[in-house]
Structure 1
Amino acid sequence: MSKVVDDLKSFQAYVALLDGDEKGEAQVFCDRLFKAFGHDGYKEAGASLEFRIKKRSSKGTSFADLIWKPRLLLEMKKRGEKLQLHYYQAFNYWLNAVPNRPRYVVLCNFDEFWIYDFDRQLDEPVDRIAVSELPVRYTALNFLFPEDRQPIFNNDREAVSRRAADQTAELFRSLVGRPQKPIPRHEAQRFVLQLVVAMFAEDIDMLPAGTVTSIIRDCLKHGMSSYDLLGGLFRQMNDPKPAKGGRFVGVPYFNGGLFAEVEAIDLAPGEMALIGGEEGVATKDWSKVNPAIFGTLFQQSMDEKLRHQHGRHFTSEADIQRVIGPCIVRPWQARIDAAKNRQELLALRRELSEYRVLDPACGSGNFLYVAFRELARLDIQLMMRLKLMISRKDFLNQAKLLSVISPRQFFGMDNDPFGVELAKVTLMLAKKLALDEAVETFAEGEGEFQRGTKEFAFHNEEALPLDNLDNNLLLGDALFMEWPDAEVIVGNPPYQSKNKLQAELGPAYLHKLRERHPEVDGRADYCVYWYRLAHDRLKDGQHAGLVGTNTIRQNYSRHSGLDYIVGNGGTITEAVSSMIWPGKAVVHVSIANWMKGDAPGPKRLYIQEGNIINSGWRFADLDRIPSSLSFALDVTKAIPLITNTRGGCHQGQTHGHEGFLVAKETAEALLKKKPAYSAVLKPFMISDDLMGEQGGKPSRYVIDFTGLELLEAREFPELFSQVETSVLPDRIKAAKKEAERNKELLDDNPKAKVNRHHEGFLKRWWQMSYARADMISEITELPRYIACGRVTKRPIFEFVSPSIRPNDALTVFSHADDYTFGILQSSVHWLWFVERCSTIKSDPRYTSNTVFDSFPWPQAPTGRAISDVAAASVHLRDERRRLLAKHNITLRELYRSIELPGDHPLKVATATLDDAVRKAYGMAKKQDPLQFLLDLNLDLAKLETDGKAIISPGLPPFVKKPAQFVTADCIQP
């Protein structure tokens, strides 16, 4: 290690010789830095200087001073520059340094390094190191060594926050889980919240240091009463009259509503140890706890069932910035940068002080906290610009109002009482922390703002008493309340699908919701209501940004939400098409930021690649982001074709209860003994059978009494008995529960529409829930039918014998010919599927109403073209069977292998099929297939509107001998 230290000391000596000129000396600084950490130089290490990064807000390119993927992005500033003013620039550089984004971002001004790990911590650097400290503190820059050592940081707020959150939640669980006389949930929540504020306050100079810890340790060591002492502390924090003597001298007046009601608790010794023991939560440095802890605390203390009912999901800071940045920071930053003089800056500051932010599903207030912090930082930037234009005396006079941002500019709504109280506290703390940051920035070089002076002292007085935010943070259901006025609307509204919404919140709520908002399609996701209401409340030039499920860009949810927004004066300015949610919730989300009115300049659209949280990103700058949030041509405006909707594409059978399923071995033994049972006991294929280890063979059987009356079904006693024993009791229970829910709804509104699904299932309890009789009728008339997995990244089609029943995990096409198979299996059809499909999480779904119904078929294929498509499809299936047998792999594995680079027989066969299909359409070689299909779809829709016939899916009607295109291969039982 002595050589490392010697090299770093040599680097220090060299840096001392530099003037700290960003333009003239940054590059040589970077090169010497890499040499000090054991490289021959930055170039030899593989780093690049002046790395081009596309700008987000305008055309053109920015240049990061150094980038070394995937480890480091280094941005240099001149000596003496305040690095905190360049945080957002560094964050934007990092955000757009894709693919293979660097893990660490470093800001440097020749004298100190500020190290960021944005994947873990956005608010502050994970460490700050002076160049003078490098020989003893270099471990924080361990990632600079050639072997990429693990860095050791001194300001990892995420780690501190998680430990504090876990211990606080443990205390809460102890209080409500006491074996005797548990503390009521709402009292425990309030007590823990008051305690958290007190612990924060003593570490950010709002309470005398060690206040909480000394109280608890006196209780533990000397038998004093926690009921008296903590209760007394909280009551004093709510008393405008300061204590004249005793233990609480120096405790200021907090107010804010949080301490208006104090329910003192007599803590057990173990609970006190959780607070003030050797490793107790009060011993943590709460000044390093990120206020986003409140979101974690909120989730951990909240009832699991209640959280699930309301679709609540914790939002990380990085994802909050994907809304706050486009909607708040960048619009304001552009205005501040454009200001030319003192008058314009002061006018902007006045406007900033009146700017209102609304989160209509605020939870614990994380969006509002980040918005407060970023607006306060914008105010600091504005002041630092002003400092360059006015005298020192005038600047100090302006800076007496350290921050113009007030908690009273922030509004939120939520239907959880504890969440609302958390949000109030979060904003109260945001005010104090923003004032501290302003002091830190203004104080450098300004003696009047140094700690301990009169000018500094008044800022603590400005932080207290805490603002009472009872009129800002409102308790209630935002979908049934008037929203406060605001210039920007942000947040992460709850999301539930239509089916889950009814199951979780009940038909009565669902009926009221639809009655109140009939303009929203009843099949849309719950979060769509917030998108619609937000847009209706915006005025021209105002912004909104919301997180939603990725269904907001699909089907009914898109129609009621993003389609409505872009169709009514909205412009999507920045969006995330799809990303994995970084929490316990197994869900994929989309993020849409928009402005009411025209927004000049390019619009940026992101998508996360891969299926893990830290997978790569890509983006594109577009003139317009469509409501589909798609990079490709927007085909969401394609119209369902009447001829396509008349049949031919179906969802498989939904059995609805495990009691209808029979193990393969059991079924085959029964059929061997009683062959007549084959009329109602059928092989039952799922998607995994088609694609996986079963090699295309069904793995189980299904009892299918479709079309049989009760007495007819009883003629198969072994099967009937199984259904009667296992299915009937559950259907009785489900119908009873449904009837009770419907009674509640009808008592409230006798005219309300109610669901009677389970009532219907009970009437024919011996039959599957959805047997798809029409589909079965169609496929049993055919020698074979086509099927593919309904949830699939790439539809892979196969012919199946009609003796096999398709499960609802399959999409079924009632066609037997090779021409139809070829069109469906072609890349032309796959591209349409990619852009039109809906999703489950990130997995695309093939459904008739999203893909098939709008897909236009070739309208004038020649006989030769039809033959070529059919022949190419037969050849492709022959190649598949040959490769599967030769390599002993599954169909899924075979198709995954063609995603790899290099030659592949199946790639050749697919290319041959694609060429034949394009010729059948009359599509030029270089023509964009999506544009061609969209134009054809719109033309055909117009023809149907005019009453003219078009060619429907399948073989064209002019084919006189369809049997010549029907070969024999198909999956058999």
Structure 2
Amino acid sequence: MIATNTIAQGDTRSTGLRYICENGGTIYNAQKRVKWVGLAAVIVSVINVFKGDYQGVKSLDGRKVDLISAFLFKSGGNNNPAVLLANADKSFQGSIVLGMGFTFDDSKPDGTPIAEMQRLIEQNSKNQERIFPYIGGEEVNSSPTHKHHRYVINFGEMSEDEAREYPDLIKIVEENVKPERLKLGDNADARRRKKNWWLWGRYTSGLFKAIAPLERVLVTNCGASTYISFSFQSSRMVFANTLAIFPLSTYSAFCIMQSRIHEIWARFFSSSMKDDLRYTPSNCFETFPFPENWETNPTLEAAGKEYYEYRAALMVRNNQGLTDTYNRFHDPDEYDPEIIKLRELHTAMDKAVLDAYGWLDIPTDCDFLLDYEEEEDDNLTPNPSPYQREGGRQKKKPWRYRWGEETHDEVLARLLDLNQQRHQEEILGGKVAGKGKGKGKKKKSNKTKSKKVVENLPDIPGIK
């Protein structure tokens, strides 16, 4: 088979290679990344499959191996990673406000000015009870201090009568949000949002409950991003739906999440837009097997703290946010001593995480490697330029300071094995993680009639 290199990813793998491997087929030869010989700038995978009892030599990227999995790894299983109970209620997506009329924002010409918000609070201090700092992925990634510049009116899950106890604020929402809501369609979700026009489109009550006891939480952008970068934010914020939020406040958590170990997992199982990552907590976090006793590991805490504080000070000194900082981090022509030190601290953090797993045999050496290749001209030179021509202008090549493919695949295969091991342990313990309501409870007997299950479901607005 000749296919795009996504054949070993997501649903394509699940319905193709996985089915073959689990139904009498054997992958006996695979080349994962082969540049197409024609004019098209395409990377393909070349895979040979045998149906039946294969007795010959297996080869993966030119190396003799004992096994080639559906992931095109030399070890590990073929199954999708399981959702782990240990990670339940530790990841959330931000709220969908659905109406910029809720916000006070000086950056939008048609927004309510922040000066007006301040005037309303001075006029009636009660208004401050329903106004909160509001932040999204763009501010987190672009500001050197992750500073928000917007505020939002939040009536929570109040009735209209309760919301009208804040007449100044309900007036703003009624004027700026209600007219747009009334233009929505006629499906169940739209009808609910039109009826409850003073409420956000989706209020994440579970998120607010989970972060309430904490001073800070870990967040990352879940929109299309070139890099995975985590930072701490005050738990008193309202987080937009462009952010994934984790009620984790320790540097140990940051150390693991920011490490290349977690990045490898997230990049492989996330959705993507072009070559950018979309971090989806259900795929990237809920299935991720953390090392044992990571919460109390002093080495992880120290490594994470040193990296985080150094990076924070570096961004302030250079007046650069996360995106600009990691652009320099992954630039092969960047030799600034401060960036070199950041790379060294990242390697130290990776080493601490690998040690926590007990994987002392995995090297942490990195090199500047292309995520994919579009042209051959510069790639064959001894000192390739990080840029290439595109339409008469300079376009940055997709360099990344990362592990080689062999280390990448070895770590990913071990994480997959560990995920299945943890999942089996949770099953033996009588617990199964799932999505949505009832997460972490024992499964009901499969003798229950499907009709009864449907009849007993609660009437949830907007959900058929």
CA distance change for structure 1 residues 576 and 569 in 2, over 3 Å: closer, same or farther? Answer: farther
> What is aligned with 1:926?
362
Q: Distance in 1 between matches of 2:416 and 2:70?
A: 16
**Equivalent in the alignment of 2:158:** 708
**Matched position secondary structure for 1:854:** coil
1:659 aligns with 2:95: no
Note if 1:838 corresponds to 2:271.
yes
Please say if residues 640 and 849 of structure 1, whose CA atoms lie closer than 8 Å, have aligned partners that are also in contact. no
Q: Say which of 419, 424, 429 aligns to 1:937.
A: 419
Does 2:258 match 1:825?
yes
The separation in 2 between residues aligned to 1:653 and 1:668, in whole angstroms, is 24
Aligned mates of 1:875, 1:627 — CA distance in 2? 39
Cα deviation per residue 1:284-305 (whole Å; 9 max; x = unaligned)? xxxxxxxxxxxxxxxxxxxxxx
Answer 1 or 2: which has greater helix percent. 1
**1:808, distance to aligned residue in structure 2 (A):** 1.1
Out of 143, 150, 175, which is 1:725 matched to?
A: 175
Q: State the match for 2:142 in structure 1.
A: 692
* In 2, Cα distance between equivalents of 1:644 and 1:910: 26
Aligned partners of 2:182, 2:59: CA distance in 1, in Å? 53
What residue is the counterpart of 1:482 in the other structure? Answer: none
**In 2 relative to 1, CA 554–680 (structure 1 residues): closer, same or farther, beyond 3 Å?**
farther
Candidates 308, 321, 325, aligned match of 1:890: 321
Change in CA separation of 1:563 and 1:635 when aligned onto 2, cut-off 3 Å: closer
1:640 corresponds to: 82
Post-superposition shift, 1:691? 1.2
| SS in structure 2 at match of 1:787 | strand
Give the corresponding residue for 1:97: none
1:910 correspondence with 2:342: no
Structure 1: distance between partners of 2:96 and 2:34: 31
Measure how far apart 1:787 and its partner are: 0.4
- The residue type paired with residue 762 of structure 1 is K
Q: Partner letter of residue 776 of structure 1? A: F
Query: Following TM superposition, by how much is the alpha carbon of 1:673 offset from its aligned partner in structure 2, in angstroms?
Result: 4.1
Matching of residue 852 in structure 1 with residue 285 in structure 2: yes
**What residue number does 2:457 align with?**
none
- The Cα shift of 1:786 comes to 0.6
TM-score (norm 1): 0.34
Equivalent residue number for residue 878 of structure 1 = 309
Amino acid at match of 2:94: G
Q: Report if aligned partners of 2:76, 2:414 keep a CA contact under 8 Å in 1.
A: no
Cα offset, 1:841, TM superposition: 2.8
- Note closer, same or farther for the CA distance 1:817–1:595 as it changes in structure 2 (3 Å cut): closer
**SS of the residue 2:202 aligns to:** coil
**Which has the higher relative contact order, 1 or 2, with Cα contacts under 8 A spaced 6 or more apart?**
2
The whole-number CA distance in structure 2 between the counterparts of 1:807 and 1:659 is 14
Deviation string 1:429-488 (CA, Å, 9 cap, x unpaired) is xxxxxxxxxxxxxxxxxxxxxxxxxxxxxxxxxxxxxxxxxxxxxxxxxxxxxxxxxxxx
Partner of 2:165, secondary structure, is coil
Trace 1:582-601 onto structure 2 (pairs within 5 A): 597-598=50-51
1:766 aligns with 2:195: no
Whole-Å Cα distance in 2 between the matches of residues 720 and 862 of structure 1?
43
Q: How many residues align?
A: 364
Measured after TM superposition, the shift of residue 895 of structure 1 is 1.9
The answer to whether the 8 Å contact 1:645/1:853 transfers is yes
Q: Which residue of 1 aligns with 2:235?
A: 802
CA distance in 2, matches of 1:909, 1:926: 17
Amino acid at match of 1:807: A
CA deviation string 1:367-386 (max 9, x = no partner): xxxxxxxxxxxxxxxxxxxx
Partner of 2:407: none
Deviations 1:912-961 (A, max 9, x none): 222222222222142743333223222211111111789xxxxxxxxxxx
CA distance in 1, matches of 2:131, 2:9: 38
CA distance in 1, matches of 2:45, 2:353: 37
Q: How far 1:709 sits from its partner (Å)?
A: 1.0
* Residue of structure 1 equivalent to 2:209: 777
- Post-superposition Cα deviations, 1:103-148, rounded to whole Å, max 9, x if no partner, equal xxxxxxxxxxxxxxxxxxxxxxxxxxxxxxxxxxxxxxxxxxxxxx
Letter in 1 for 2:313: R
Q: Give the Cα–Cα distance (whole angstroms) in 2 for the partners of residues 706 and 590 of structure 1.
A: 49
Correspondence for 1:273:
none
Residues 800, 862 of structure 1: alpha-carbon distance in 2 compared, 3 angstrom cutoff: closer
Aligned pair in 2 of structure 1 residues 804, 637: CA closer, same or farther (>3 Å)? same
Q: Secondary structure at the match of 1:702?
A: strand
Q: CA deviation at 1:911?
A: 2.2
* Structure 2 Cα separation of the partners of residues 658 and 685 of structure 1: 13
Structure 1's 862 and 676: CA in aligned 2 closer, same or farther, altered over 3 A? closer
- The 2-side partners of 1:862 and 1:842 are apart by 33
Alignment of 1:539-554 (within 5 A): 554=9
Change (3 A) 1:862 1:724: closer
CA contact (8 A) 1:661 1:702 kept: yes
Residues 678/602 of structure 1: CA separation in 2 closer, same or farther (3 Å cut):
farther
**Structure 1: 5+ residue stretches without partners:** 1-325, 328-544, 606-619, 739-755, 951-973
594 and 906 in structure 1: CA distance in 2 versus 1, 3 angstrom threshold: closer
2-side partners of 1:574 and 1:729: how far apart? 56
* CA distance in 2 between partners of 1:948 and 1:678 (Å): 47
Question: Does the 8 Å contact 2:18/2:79 carry over to 1?
Answer: no
Give the Cα–Cα distance (whole angstroms) in 2 for the partners of residues 872 and 663 of structure 1. Answer: 38
| 1:764/1:942 CA distance change after superposition, 3 Å | same
Indicate if the aligned counterparts of 2:95 and 2:204 stay in contact, CA closer than 8 A: yes
Structure 1 residues 546-585: aligned runs within 5 Å: 554-556=9-11, 558-560=13-15, 563-564=18-19, 567-568=22-23
Closer, same or farther: CA 853–861 of 1 in aligned 2, 3 Å:
closer
Query: Matched residues in 2 for 1:826 and 1:687: separation?
Result: 20
Whether the 8 Å CA contact 2:294–2:300 is kept in 1: the answer is no
Contact 2:103–2:150 (Cα < 8 Å) also in 1: yes
Aligned-pair CA distance for 1:635: 7.7
Query: Cα offset for 1:807?
Result: 0.9
Cα shift at 1:814: 0.6
The 8 Å contact of residues 68 and 74 in structure 2, kept in 1 or not, is answered as no
Structure 1 residues 575-599: Cα deviation after superposition (integer angstroms, max 9, x where no partner):
77999xx99xxxx999778788549
- Cα distance in 2 between the residues matched to 1:673 and 1:779: 31
The alpha-carbon deviation at position 685 of structure 1 amounts to: 1.0
The answer on whether the counterparts of 1:638 and 1:854 sit within 8 Å (CA) in structure 2 is no
Q: Secondary structure at the match of 2:156?
A: coil
- Alpha-carbon distance in 2 for matches of 1:688, 1:725: 27
What corresponds to 2:219 in structure 1? 787
1:727 Cα offset (Å): 3.0
- Within a 5 Å distance, the mapping from 1:728-767 to structure 2 comes to 728-736=178-186, 738=187, 756-767=188-199
1:713-741 CA deviation, whole Å, 9 max, x = no partner? 122233323332343333333242x3xxx
Asked if the contact 2:144/2:315 (under 8 Å) is kept, the reply is: no
Change in 2 beyond 3 A, CA 1:931/1:631: closer
Q: Are the counterparts in 2 of residues 638 and 938 from structure 1 also a CA contact under 8 Å?
A: no
Match of 1:868 in 2: 299
Q: Tell whether the 8 Å contact from 1:860 to 1:921 is kept in structure 2 after alignment.
A: no
Q: CA RMSD in A?
A: 3.9
**Equivalent-residue separation in structure 2 for 1:897 and 1:851 (angstroms):** 25
The DSSP-based 3-state class of the residue aligned with 2:283 is coil
Is the CA contact 2:68–2:75 (under 8 Å) kept in the aligned structure 1?
no
Mapped partners of 1:570, 1:948: distance in 2: 33
Per-residue displacement from partner, 1:339-381 (whole Å, max 9, x unpaired)?
xxxxxxxxxxxxxxxxxxxxxxxxxxxxxxxxxxxxxxxxxxx
One-letter amino acid of the structure 1 residue matched with residue 344 of structure 2: V
**Matched ranges for 1:29-428 at <5 A:** none
Task: Write the distance in 1 (CA, Å) between the matches of 2:87 and 2:282.
Answer: 8
CA distance in 1 between partners of 2:142 and 2:288 (Å): 28
Match of 1:80 in 2: none
CA distance in 1, matches of 2:17, 2:194: 39
